[in-house]
Chains A and B, each alone.
Chain A
Amino acid sequence: MGTEQRVAEVIEASSAEFVAQCYKLDQAPPLGSLVKTKDELRKIYGVVYNVETHSLEPGRRVVARGEGMETEDEIFRANPQLAKLLCTDFQALVVGHRQGDGLHHYLPPKPASIHSFVYTCQLEEVKAFTQSLDFLGLLVDARLPIPVDEVIAACLRCAGQAYPDSESFLIKAGKEMARLLSSDARRLNSVLKRLR
């Protein structure tokens, strides 16, 4: 997440989330990291909540090919078509957008455009976005196929790297979580334990 890199393209979009396909197999941004797409009017920010690698054709299952080979790399060398038949997708939850000079921690009026490029965010941008932690509300309330608390913790750990004093950022974020999860001490405890 150091520098801005174009890593994927939106292939499915809704108001609350988008799915992007990575240009390179297995090269998805890490779980919980902040990514963005752009169009003429705005940048839309999302938090990666799920990464999947699968066959391009839905009916065609991937089969094991490595028997008798020394390393995993050898499989790809022996089957160069594999890189084209497989792909890595990731799903991101929309957590805010920037329109003009305004940075908003709520959903944009329109979803991300299909085929728009997806970039990783530079540390500076992560820092700017996480100045306000209002987006945590969207994460806490999201219904995801994977445990939300894992995503939240991963997101905060990633964002913490953008700060020289990550400890105090995490404390601030932890306090925000404590407010959001004031009625669910068990969940709060599990998120806090995952922040270290």
Chain B
Amino acid sequence: MLESLQYLVSGFAVAATAQNLAYCLIGAIVGTLVGILPGLGPIAGIALLIPATFGLNPTSALIMLAGIYYGAMYGGSTTSILINVPGETASVITCIDGYKMAQQGRAGPALAISALGSFIAGTIAIFGLVLIAPPLAAAALAFGPPEFASLMVFGFVVLSNVTGTSLIKALMMAVVGLIIGTIGLDPVTGNERFTFGSAYLLGGIEFVAVAIGVFGLGEVLVNAAKPAGQLEGRVLVPRFRDLYPSLADLKRAIGAILRGTGIGFGIGLVPGPAPVIATYASYTVEKRLSKHPQEFGNGAIEGVAGPESANNAATQSAFIPLFVLGIPFGPVTAILLGALLIHGVTPGPLLIAEHPQLFWAVVASMYIGNFILLLLNLPFVPLFANMLRVPKKVLLPLVMLFCVTGMFSVNNSILDIWMMLAFGALGYILRGWAYEGAPLLLGLVLGPKLEVAFRQSVMISHGDFGIFVERPVSLGLLVATLLFLVYPLVKLAWRALHRKPVAPAAQGDAQ
């Protein structure tokens, strides 16, 4: 504990250099913009900014990219509250009570509580990260290829279970991502695989092309499909002096903020789109615990404070599995893993030991970033809110131009742009069919790691597949995986036995 705090102090020394402060500020501003502007989520935002980090050292690069991730959580609430359009998926639930508060002329307190809750949650969660990450990394050193293989399978199944509406659809997307990840050179033997003689495909499918295509271009196309009239909404921009919440607001919100922090932190540690799930869990808990549940849906401040705190806490704790296990449990951390690998840093149990400066500087920068974001999101919120006045019919072409330019700059290759366009079209079609892109991206990034872990395990055991169930940690993870797979079937059987009326299938489920 004391050692961790000493390292954290040295991390502050690195994070507080003028250069790293500047990158932290840029990350926070870009993240806030990414969160505010509908049509550009944190996945595409980070993917677009990866090329801009090529000239930086890995520490500065990760400080900036991490800033975009948690900055987007702050910014996302602004659009939810002001125009009832979530800037990114983790802010969907904030629309319910946040927009109601804005309609009642209480946009200021909603925004202020959201920023304050995000700050408190982020700060507490980073402290949790400092406490948990080092001992967990030490424990993870005992992990071998079978444990990592089982952990990744567990991650895929849990992510698929909690993503979207259909387990089978999400599993199919994960497998498609894994298959795409096999294109290129075999990571064990170096043989060519599915390259069809193309030198371009030897290096595999560029994950940035998939991320920008499916999440950036796909979102742009969904918006472009809407008639011009539906693209614009009314913006309720609050004045600075209206931002202060009352003492009564603060009293009601503080419990929700602390509970949201705990819920978010816990959910961030398990596989899945943690910030999104955390908001729903927090909202449900707040509504159940509230003395006036009838206010939920009509502008309850707890309905803003809880979820916004939860998504920030989950964002910070989601860094723990990425840093100490080297396994991202969600699509955004998968992108961050890709960025780290590009910079020659391999996250995993040895990261803290081998790159202490990077780890502790990034953690320290999160404290600084949270403070910067609190400043950005309180006094400057009217300024950011005014950005929503930029018509979408102007914004979407601009985002498209950024996508094309950003994609080219990854490898200075026009072929990458074609690849991005192909995945953009795929992303648009998948949305029409109600298939999620997140498992696909995770499969693509984790595919080579899973294959190597699987093949190494089998080689270690001389072809005995029992190795996966003979080791206790691996067995535990596989049993948990099985439970997650069986749970939906048990639920279905339970429903059938109790003859509950089945809701009509969603429109997209017809695919």
Bound pair: A and B? no
Interface residues of B (CB under 8 A from A): none
Interface residues of A (CB under 8 A from B): none
